[in-house]
Amino acid sequence: MYKKSLLRTITVSLVIFLAMLLVLSGCSGNNEPANNNNNDNNSNNGDPVAEGPRRGGEAYFYYDQDPTTFLVGTLSQPHGGIGPYFYPGLVRLDVDRNPHPYAAKSWDISEDSRTITFHLRDDIRFTDGVPLTSADVKWTFEEISAKHSAQMTPVFQQVTSIETPDDYTVVLNFDQPYGPLFTLLSAPFFGIHPKHRLEGKDLLTDPEAMLDAVGWGPYKLGEWKRGEYIILERNDDYFEEGKPYLDRLVYRMIPDATAQLYAFENQEIDIMGASAILEHVPRLREIPWVGYREGLADPAGMDLLFNLKNDKLSKYEVRKAISHAIDREMLNDLVWMGLGIPAVSHFSPEFGTFYNPKVDLLKKYDYDPQKAEEMLDAAGYPRGKDGVRFELRLITSNTNTYLKNAQEVIVDQLRAVGIKVIPENFDVTGITQRVYETHNFDMKVWHSTQGADPIIGVERWCLSTYYGSGRFAQNPTGYANERVDDLFWIAKTSAVPEERTAAFHEIQEILAEEIPYLPLNNPPAISLYNTRLQDYGLYLYHYIQDVWVKE
């Protein structure tokens, strides 16, 4: 059946949301999924489906290029890859950010939260028949998470030892609790790999290791024709009874966004990422069979970063004036087709309770060019005869259309208040050298993830010890505030939700006052899908074993 289906011009893209925030306390749970009625914002999905899940059928996706690795948690594994379908994690997170058992059937947390004991299922086997045991978990922690995972490496700076008292028990010992731990134990940050197949191999350069697909997840590699398609077949030995529901997943390579859109509109693929086709989203939403989901498991932000070593930008009055001079609502309309959200805080509201509702940067720094002009005058920078107060350089990507469009808007709006902005555009290597290594820049506009937890994606912009590291996306501004450093440490090491929340709230209040960088927008995160897919998105990371199709 699927051979015939391959004749269709389908292509595979796995639109996978990243796992979101979770704290260490309250980490017991059942394996019931979230209520699907709360997960869909689309009014075009039709009447509720009366029948229950059925086995059989196929789902069609696209990839924009052949994968280079299936190993989960390595630097080269894309978050939208299929590796997690071979190598899932210890836990899974539902849309309410609650942890559910997966490879770990349960866990215990010591009173001081420095010892976490995971109890593994004893009925999981890799597709070569070898049981999954604590040795595989320990090996994955030590050889992948601690060495090759940008998200997990900070965790293992605080892990003092890993014990495996028996084949189905894993004990993590910490010198300090690590607040975002459970978020990172779910795909796509972490997946359990077979020690007996990968031990001793170079996981970043050896193709035999990187493309090893002997996993234990719901699907196994069926057929792969490079440049054309990948077929995943149901793993009949998968441990969740009756799952997966689909017989197979068919992926084909379609690198061009226009071709992807054509395939989706012709119902040749079932899921379409909207980031490259924002102008088509309003029209697509009117199609009866198109489902629409927005929201990001891994919140993102577009920010204007200031070099605080610059003699002008080091002055709060100047940064405040610039903040009043930029119309973030217009920027959202022009750059994101009105589908994003003008930023109200340095923390995305999608962080839930970690977002401080008392902070509203749109009100605090409302768009008011006249006020900006008055502030610049008062700061000692009047307009010259040519109408220019001073010059600043604004750096961004030379390839990202959204960033370049935002750069143009900012150049125009700051020109209106007398600031001449010179645009500079480089590739990532050039930006790393100028912004993070030599700090030879004035301002930078950038779009990046805020992480599944603020410790993962926000701390890096603010922590004083990160300045001068030379690493991409680590405090390029030179911002240093001892209280902010202390609050991030509290949030990182506390296992008490209320303590973490209070710390994050205070951080936002301080950043709102000192404005080391200006949050511009929270870009749109939109998934379009064919509503023949049922129970799509019950979990933050789309566990495909739960998805089934209507006849």
Q: Where are the CATH 3.10.105.10 domain residues in the chain?
A: 300-522
Assess contact for 434 and 426: CB atoms under 8 A: yes
Contacts of 185 (CB under 8 A, 6+ apart): 89, 90, 91, 99, 104
Strands (DSSP E) contained in 53-175 are 58-63, 91-93, 99-101, 104-109, 115-120, 159-166, 169-174
**Does 19 score more than 90 pLDDT?**
no
Predicted confidence band of residue 448 (pLDDT cuts 50, 70, 90): confident
Count, in order, helices (H) and strands (E) of the chain.
20, 21
**Does 421 score more than 50 pLDDT?**
yes
pLDDT of residue 302: 96
Determine the residue type at 338.
Answer: G
**Does 173 score more than 90 pLDDT?**
yes
Q: Where are the CATH 3.40.190.10 domain residues in the chain?
A: 2-293+527-549
pLDDT in tens, 180-206: 888 889 878 899 999 999 999 999 899
pLDDT of residue 56: 95
Predicted confidence band of residue 537 (pLDDT cuts 50, 70, 90): low
Q: Which top CATH class is 300-522?
A: alpha beta
Q: What is the mean pLDDT of the chain?
A: 87
pLDDT of residue 12: 29
pLDDT in tens, 39-76: 343 434 444 445 789 999 999 999 888 998 999 988 66
Axis-axis angle for helices 401-415, 316-325 (nearest 10): 110
Q: Which top CATH class is 2-293+527-549?
A: alpha beta
DSSP calls for 189-241? T-----HHHHTTS-TTT-HHHHT-----SSEEEEEEETTTEEEEEE-TT-SST
* Dist. CA 298–CA 456, nearest whole Å: 10
Choice among 139-153, 420-434, 479-493 with the minimum mean pLDDT: 139-153
**Does 28 score more than 90 pLDDT?**
no
DSSP 8-state code for residue 278: G
Choice among 48-62, 202-216, 496-510 with the minimum mean pLDDT: 48-62
State the pTM of this model: 0.75
What is the CA angle 344-345-351, rounded to 5? 105
pLDDT of residue 294: 74
- Closest C-alpha to 103, from 192, 201, 203, 212: 192
Residue with tokens 């200031």: 306
